[in-house]
């Protein structure tokens, strides 16, 4: 056991539990639990959004992908960053103006159908669980490496902590855990990046030249094609990453934690700058790992390439620096899983339980009780699934969540905001088609099927690793066809939605 690492981990656990304890004393009603009372400033919410977004896939998965595949690994960083242009210009302000706590709230301004709201809630739960598995896989690998605990035990520890944060602290605790995590992550990443650059005499040319010579790819390491040899697969991945963020429920709920649209724009602007800075630094982390950690060690690690960042820290500064970087990654995972749990529990308690099962009559106390129970359920399911998928690269798991979000929620949001004829039948058709097409195609893709080392021992049926280029258009097409075929346009309040989305003025409060 790394004693220094144990101290760092313990400090993070005590600190985050202290934040939760403080937040619990301020948790008065459902508005506090779901949306932190709409009290966060733009800067605070921007840091929280960044903390919610910069996940284990970013810090661990992308660093490992760059270390093994060079330029192709950096494509993840590009896709993740570009997605915030879509959010800033199209999604953030209208979603805030329409909703109160969840995506279901925003859509309910136009469509009252219980079936649709239930589908949105179930889809939110599915995306949150898929995304959460990636974080728990990374957490299990980290704790196993540093503290020599069993992988399953490590996953259980993180799963328990994330449930405690949400159950007792709600969105208030989740937000402040994410803010603190962002500060720690940026500081730690900057420190490692500066050390790596210093090893090359502060010369980018020296770094690129050395890395090209140190890997089996040679000069090709700096060019595309090491991981993604199929241009269609590359386009599919980038399309999924660029469009998927706008449909991620745990990002959307952050638009409801501030008081007005101006603050939402400041939030997204702050988040984009912080996230952009971080993704630039993933180049230094990835190239540093390729230079100072044995390529074979990265490739043959029992946890795939997910430990490239801690192994780099060990190569640069021994046990102490590795313990620090591992603790940073641990804080990263805790913050993200807390955000995922709060979005899932809010969807269940507010959308399904309160608005569908109780038809809007549930009290604050009942909703909070349902949210806490759903948090426990989501945590248990995620832990069990994470234990069975420890070998998968976490960046791939997150890309699956992005594919589902882009194929289901994005058509729903855009057509709700900008297509007058869009109706409930089209919304249901689009979500159903987008969800099942993305999941089924992934199940039959090379990431899941392989004759010798896949989760399914067979030749892949679908040739692309990422289904976005197929499933995203299918979601839009199904929404269009479902709308055109259906002649029922009753209750379609497009003018009201358009006015409220642009002004924030609630003409006819739907009682969300």
pLDDT tens digits for range 370-427: 888 888 888 888 888 888 776 665 556 777 888 999 999 999 999 999 999 899 999 9
What percent of the residues of the chain are helix, what percent strand, and what percent coil, each to the nearest 5?
80, 0, 20
- Residue 93's H or E segment, with its range, is helix 92-98
Task: Please report, rounded to a whole number, the percentage of residues in the chain having pLDDT higher than 70.
Answer: 93
The 3 state secondary structure assigned to 325-352 is HHHHHHHHHHHHHHHHHHHHHHHHHHHH
The mean pLDDT value for 456-480 works out to: 88
* Alpha-carbon 357 to chain mean position: 28
Distance between CA atoms of residues 249 and 325, nearest Å: 28
At 511 the pLDDT is 46
Using alpha carbons, select from 330, 401, 304, 370 the residue that is nearest to residue 157.
330
> What is the secondary structure of 433-462 as a DSSP string?
HHHHHHHHHHHTSTTTB-TTTSSB-S--SS
What token pair was written down for 6? 């144990």
The mean pLDDT value for 87-99 works out to: 90
At 124 the pLDDT is 92
Q: Which long-range contacts (CB under 8 A, 24 or more apart) does 23-28 make?
A: 23/168, 23/169, 23/170, 23/172, 23/173, 23/176, 24/168, 24/169, 24/173, 26/172, 27/168, 27/169, 27/170, 27/172
* pLDDT over 90 at 507, yes or no: no
Residues 6+ apart with CB under 8 A from 55: 131, 134, 135, 332, 333, 336, 394, 398
pLDDT tens-digit profile of 50-65?
Answer: 998 887 767 877 888 8
pLDDT tens-digit profile of 115-137?
Answer: 899 999 999 998 988 888 877 87
Distance between CA atoms of residues 120 and 492, nearest Å: 18
CA angle 504, 360, 253 (to 5 degrees): 45
The 3 state secondary structure assigned to 2-45 is CHHHHHHHHHHHHHHHHHHHHHHHCCCCHHHHHHHHHCCCHHHH
What count of other Cβ atoms lies within 10 Å of the Cβ of residue 337?
33
SS3 state at 509: coil
CA atoms within 13 A on the CB side of 474: 19
Contact 40, 174 (CB under 8 A): no
> What is the secondary structure of 117-134 as a DSSP string?
HHHHHHHHHHHHHHHHHH
At 123 the pLDDT is 92
Task: Please report, rounded to a whole number, the percentage of residues in the chain having pLDDT higher than 90.
Answer: 29
What token pair was written down for 228? 């993604």
At 512 the pLDDT is 46
Based on its alpha-carbon atoms, the radius of gyration of the chain, rounded to whole angstroms, reads 22
Distance between CA atoms of residues 7 and 10, nearest Å: 5
The position carrying tokens 């339980």 is 353
Q: Kindly compute the dihedral angle of the four CA atoms of residues 280, 284, 287, 292, in this order, to the nearest 10 degrees.
A: -160
Contact 95, 102 (CB under 8 A): no
* pLDDT over 60 at 23, yes or no: yes
Residues 6+ apart with CB under 8 A from 331: 12, 16, 180, 181, 184, 185
* pLDDT over 50 at 331, yes or no: yes
Distance between CA atoms of residues 278 and 275, nearest Å: 5
Put residue 509 in one of left, alpha, beta given phi > 0 → left and psi -120 to 50 → alpha. Answer: beta
At 226 the pLDDT is 84
At 164 the pLDDT is 87
Contact 419, 479 (CB under 8 A): no
Using alpha carbons, select from 454, 355, 377, 331 the residue that is nearest to residue 125.
377
Using alpha carbons, select from 34, 69, 118, 15 the residue that is nearest to residue 346.
34
At 46 the pLDDT is 94
What token pair was written down for 41? 């400033």
Contact 104, 350 (CB under 8 A): yes
At 510 the pLDDT is 46
pLDDT tens-digit profile of 227-276?
Answer: 888 889 889 988 998 898 889 998 999 999 999 899 999 999 999 999 99
* pLDDT over 90 at 28, yes or no: no
* pLDDT over 70 at 348, yes or no: yes
* 16, 25, 49, 167, 477 from 22: Cα distances, Å: 10, 6, 21, 13, 48
27 vs 180, more confident: 180
Put residue 392 in one of left, alpha, beta given phi > 0 → left and psi -120 to 50 → alpha. Answer: beta
Local confidence band at 489 (pLDDT 50, 70, 90 cut-offs):
low
Average pLDDT for the chain: 86
* pLDDT over 50 at 151, yes or no: yes
Put residue 369 in one of left, alpha, beta given phi > 0 → left and psi -120 to 50 → alpha. Answer: alpha
């Amino acid at each position: 056991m790394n004693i220094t690492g144990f101290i760092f981990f313990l400090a993070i656990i005590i600190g985050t539990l202290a934040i939760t304890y403080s937040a619990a004393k301020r948790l008065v009603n459902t508005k506090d639990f779901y949306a932190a009372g709409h009290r966060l400033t733009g800067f605070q919410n921007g840091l929280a959004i960044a903390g919610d977004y910069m996940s284990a896939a970013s810090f661990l998965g992308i660093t490992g992908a760059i270390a093994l595949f060079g330029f192709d690994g950096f494509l993840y960083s590009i896709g993740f960053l570009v997605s915030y242009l879509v959010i800033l210009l199209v999604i953030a302000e209208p979603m805030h103006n329409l909703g109160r706590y969840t995506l279901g709230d925003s859509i309910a301004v136009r469509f009252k159908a219980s079936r649709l709201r239930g589908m949105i809630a179930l889809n939110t739960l599915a995306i949150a669980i898929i995304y959460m598995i990636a974080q728990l896989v990374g957490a299990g690998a980290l704790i196993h490496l540093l503290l020599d605990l069993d992988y399953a035990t490590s996953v259980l520890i993180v799963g328990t902590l994330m449930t405690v944060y949400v159950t007792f602290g709600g969105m208030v605790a989740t937000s402040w855990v994410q803010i603190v995590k962002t500060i720690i992550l940026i500081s730690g990443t900057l420190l490692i990046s500066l050390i790596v650059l210093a090893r090359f005499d502060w010369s980018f040319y020296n770094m690129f030249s050395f890395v090209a010579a140190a890997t089996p790819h040679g000069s090709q390491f700096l060019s595309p094609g090491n991981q993604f040899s199929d241009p269609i697969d590359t386009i599919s991945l980038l399309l999924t990453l660029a469009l998927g963020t706008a449909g991620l429920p745990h990002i959307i709920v952050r638009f409801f934690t501030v008081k007005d649209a101006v603050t939402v724009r400041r939030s997204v602007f702050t988040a984009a700058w912080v996230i952009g800075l971080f993704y630039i630094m993933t180049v230094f982390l990835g190239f540093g790992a390729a230079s100072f950690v044995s390529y074979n060690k990265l490739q043959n690690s029992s946890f795939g390439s997910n430990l490239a960042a801690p192994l780099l820290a060990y190569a640069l500064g021994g046990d102490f620096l590795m313990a620090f970087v591992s603790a940073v990654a641990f804080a990263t995972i805790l913050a993200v899983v807390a955000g995922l749990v709060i979005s899932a529990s809010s969807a269940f308690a507010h959308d399904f339980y309160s608005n569908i099962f109780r038809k809007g009559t549930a009290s604050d106390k009942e909703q909070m009780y349902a949210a806490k129970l759903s948090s426990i359920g989501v945590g248990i399911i995620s832990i069990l699934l994470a234990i069975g998928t420890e070998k998968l690269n976490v960046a791939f798991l997150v890309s699956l969540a992005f594919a589902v979000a882009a194929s289901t929620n994005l058509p729903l949001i855009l057509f709700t905001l900008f297509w007058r004829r869009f109706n409930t039948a089209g919304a249901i058709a689009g979500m159903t088609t987008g969800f099942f097409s993305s999941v089924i195609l992934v199940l039959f893709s090379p990431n899941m099927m392989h004759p010798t080392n896949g989760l399914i021992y067979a030749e892949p049926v679908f040739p692309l690793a990422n289904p976005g280029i197929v499933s995203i258009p299918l979601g839009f097409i199904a929404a269009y066809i479902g709308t055109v075929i259906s002649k029922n346009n009753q209750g379609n309040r497009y003018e009201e939605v358009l006015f409220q989305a642009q002004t924030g003025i609630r003409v006819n409060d739907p009682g969300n």
